[in-house]
Amino acid sequence: MHDLSKLPSQDKEATVAIHAERHALEPFNLSHAPLLRAELLKTAADEHIFLLATHQYVFDGWSTAILFRELSTLYTAFRAGEASPLPPPSAQYADFAHWLRHGFAGAEAARQEAYWQEKLRDAQLVTALPLDHPRQANVPNRSASVAFTLPSFLADALRKLSQQVGVTLFISLLAAFQTLLYGYTRQEKLAVGSIVSNRQLTQTETMIGSFANNILISSDFFPA
């Protein structure tokens, strides 16, 4: 905890920004604890700023929501002088790791490996996408995102279509995206990377940990 409440107001904001930047950029050594770093900045008698940092290998976005929900529950209870209302966990991340190791051992591991090698045998990443101008040979791996909003009538139509064919909205949007890529590239077998939550067991719904899994989704297109 750092008490910044006595700093002049013109210095307080800059000091908070320095603390937050250092807190966010300080690296983690994943072979040693702690794997989660927290600080509390007191900026006034009744005002605090909570800083929390961890490595993405420690827990995923789903875990972040669980953590803040539990922190809020505990804060409300402790402020009222009550005991923790959270039930004891029925299982922890170490249990999930144990289940995973034993579930994909022996014959099951060999079966799944053979399946995916066959499924992705001829899968190709997008290599023929037309570009607006020639690219340099050595380009740094910079990426970006573009946010946009679908009209409500289109979003409702996509949900209705997904229900009619018995798939999730994600699958419908993925199919549309891969179809768009096929229209640009004419590649008959496309592989698109995606991240899945990998929380298939009920016990993992309230666990904090790194469950996210990168997968390749391959699709076949047959020209008319």
The string of pLDDT tens digits covering residues 98-111 is 888 887 777 888 88
Residue 60: φ, ψ to 5°: -95, -175
pLDDT grade for 159, boundaries at 50, 70 and 90: very high
pLDDT on residue 187: 85
> What CATH number does residue 157 fall under?
3.30.559.30
Judge whether 79 lies within some domain: no
Judge whether 82 lies within some domain: no
Q: Which amino acid is at 188?
A: E
pLDDT on residue 83: 96
Where a domain ends, among 10, 32, 58? 58
Higher model confidence: residue 130 or residue 46? 46
Judge whether 50 lies within some domain: yes
Q: Are residues 50 and 126 in the same domain?
A: no
CA angle 165, 215, 210 (to 5 degrees): 110
What does the pLDDT look like over 168-177, one tens digit per residue?
Answer: 999 999 999 9
Q: Are residues 39 and 128 in the same domain?
A: no
pLDDT on residue 34: 85
pLDDT on residue 30: 86
Running DSSP on this structure, what letter comes out for residue 124?
Answer: B
Judge whether 94 lies within some domain: no
pLDDT grade for 48, boundaries at 50, 70 and 90: very high
Number of domains the chain contains: 2
Name 41's bridge partners. Answer: 2, 49
Q: Are residues 42 and 129 in the same domain?
A: no
Q: Contact at 8 Å (CB) between 212 and 195?
A: yes
The angle that helices 152-165 and 169-185 make with each other, rounded to 10 degrees, is 100
What does the pLDDT look like over 73-105, one tens digit per residue?
Answer: 999 999 999 999 999 988 899 998 888 888 777
Question: Minimal CA–CA distance to 212: which of 201, 196, 223, 224?
Answer: 196
Q: How many angstroms separate the CA atoms of 40 and 33, rounded? A: 19
Question: Minimal CA–CA distance to 60: which of 218, 185, 217, 214?
Answer: 214
Domain that holds residue 48: 2-58
Where a domain ends, among 58, 87, 102? 58
pLDDT at 71 over 80: yes
Q: How many angstroms separate the CA atoms of 159 and 5, rounded? A: 50
Q: What is the mean pLDDT of the chain?
A: 88
pLDDT on residue 104: 76
Judge whether 53 lies within some domain: yes
Q: Is 52 helix (H, G, I), strand (E, B) or coil?
A: strand
Segment 136-152 mean pLDDT: 82
pLDDT grade for 190, boundaries at 50, 70 and 90: confident
Q: How do beta strands 36-44 and 2-3 pair?
A: parallel
Judge whether 196 lies within some domain: yes
Q: What percent of the chain has pLDDT over 90?
A: 41
pLDDT at 162 over 80: yes
Residues 6+ apart with CB under 8 A from 96: 201, 203, 204, 207, 209, 211
